[in-house]
Structure 1
Amino acid sequence: MSEAPTRHSKVLIIGSGPAGYTAAVYASRAMLEPILIQGTQPGGQLTITTEVENWPGDSMVMGPDLMVRMEAHANEVGTEIIADHINALDLSQRPFTAHGDSGTTYTADALILATGAQAKWLGLPSEEHFKGFGVSACATCDGFFYRGKEVVVIGGGNTAVEEALFLTNFASKVTLVHRRDSLRAEKILQHRLFNNPKVEIIWDHTVEEVIGGDNPRGVEGVVLRHVSSGEKRTVPCAGFFVAIGHAPASDLVKDQLETHMGGYVVTKPDSTATSIPGVFAAGDLTDHEYRQAVTSAGMGCMAALEAERFIASLDAPAAEAAE
């Protein structure tokens, strides 16, 4: 029986969103011959987004199309892109070691983490029960199934408003539930929401339970509770979309790197350097403030430039010793 393969690279990039692909472009141009591991969702969160209207140079671009272009760019400049998922990392010594689901072990002199973030859930037993049967965290994935039906969205940020607006393309009515009395979303998105005749907003409420049937399994409504009075009401719906934000995908490193704010990887000021020299973090894994594609791409650039300098510092003593 042959041994599992081991691949070494100067720079290993884990993650394939805007941060990962931008890091790959810069690392390739620095002749570092990076390997990029795509993960379980190649292209990241933008692949489950429709119209992107804030990417510079494109007044409107489809999220999946933008990520296809980024992947092609990284590939064209020399990045080796591998469809694998890293399930374990050892950052205790260099070279750093990553283990893939494929059985391949990857080692690297420098590591760029760009694993992004994943949708948050409410944590209700009824929500878990109906996941995939009327409960979703991705309107662009599942909105089509609710053509002519009523749906409920919970949340108050950009994600929630974008999901609600997208769902108006299919649903007969979209009810947005928010626990406060105002939204955090960008003003232009709020303006579109308030002026859409298919949208109703229920303020100062939280979702207490998802209700439905089991034969066949499906959502029939949600039970809401007023945040101050505690009064309950039921809103009928065929679909319930959770859009309360995202949590950083830091499980691989939470016990090895310094984290804060619920799992975001800590980086040094004006840098992507983490608490371990040679390990850099970029994008939504470290950014709890902006969470934009363009800021993720910027951090990917920073990470690659910093990785290049780090590798040069490793090579310098060896070169001096040879003189």
Structure 2
Amino acid sequence: MIHTPPAEALKDPESFRALVTERCEPAVLRGAAKQWPMLAGGDVGGVADHLRRFDAGRAAEVFVGEPAIQARYHYDETLAGFNFTRSTMPFTQALAQILATAREPGRPSMYMGSLTAETCFPGIEETTRLPFVPAAVRPRFWIGHPSTVACHYDTMDNVACVAAGRRRFTLFPPDAISDLYVGPIDHTLAGQPISLAVGSEAGDPRFPRFERARERALVVELEPGDALYLPKLWWHQVEATGEVNVLVNFWWDGFPTGPDQPYTAMMLALVAIAERPPAERAAWRAWFDHYVFRPDGHPLGFLPPEHHGVLGSPKENQGRIRAMVMRLLRGG
């Protein structure tokens, strides 16, 4: 079951963080965006008109897929390339083509993703407010024909709102990663690694471990005005199932602790630890558990705070730790 938070969780960012974000579980937010002006007309035409009203005249990157791929944007058979092409055109032209060809049989599929409000639609953020999303967070827009976006994760917390069409999310928890057969991390469709197994037929001999993950999948369907909260690192395949689909999403870090991101630390650990002997990796795992993941609490919890040194308050010590790390990286 996917969590449905109480109404009071959606009144402001502090309540949302306490009642939703800190659970680190997906949450369905039915009707969270139903009051947006772009949804007032109840149809795709009204949403399109609202987008045109704020259009800054910028070009957009469009994914174009031939009918043979059935709008499943993915790698090609060699994994060296992709099964779609990228085209750049003015936003208004791309939107017009999507709308005009939506009902044409056998037409190529078109998909625009991650169009930022500040670049493409300045001012539109005032009409897409959610009281529980921090005010500084700006929306992004995802527009296209029916499509399937390959299962991936994000390194930021995410609220995704349907403005037109319908969306089906298939979710897997972060600890399913080893069963998802994740592809390359530096040769990706749109920035994040994807699962090669999600969407495969049951019993596919290429992905035997995926059968364990398949049983853990959570599926949620969203209608216009509905939203879904996705914690960072949750895997999600996203299917747009209307003739024309518009999604508005908000990304932010619900738990910022400084300028450095956890993913950065993981990438450095790849070159520092991943190829060491198994027994040494196990030793480092114990160190990471003790100092970073802390299953038994603070590593110096048995001492008064004045003796915690750089392991004291992160806000007070992040500068000292970053300086230590930079010195170590320089060989000092």
TM-score bracket for the superposition, by shorter chain length: under 0.3
Q: What is the TM-score with the length of structure 2 in the denominator?
A: 0.19
Q: What is the TM-score with the length of structure 1 in the denominator?
A: 0.19
- Greater strand percent: which structure? 1
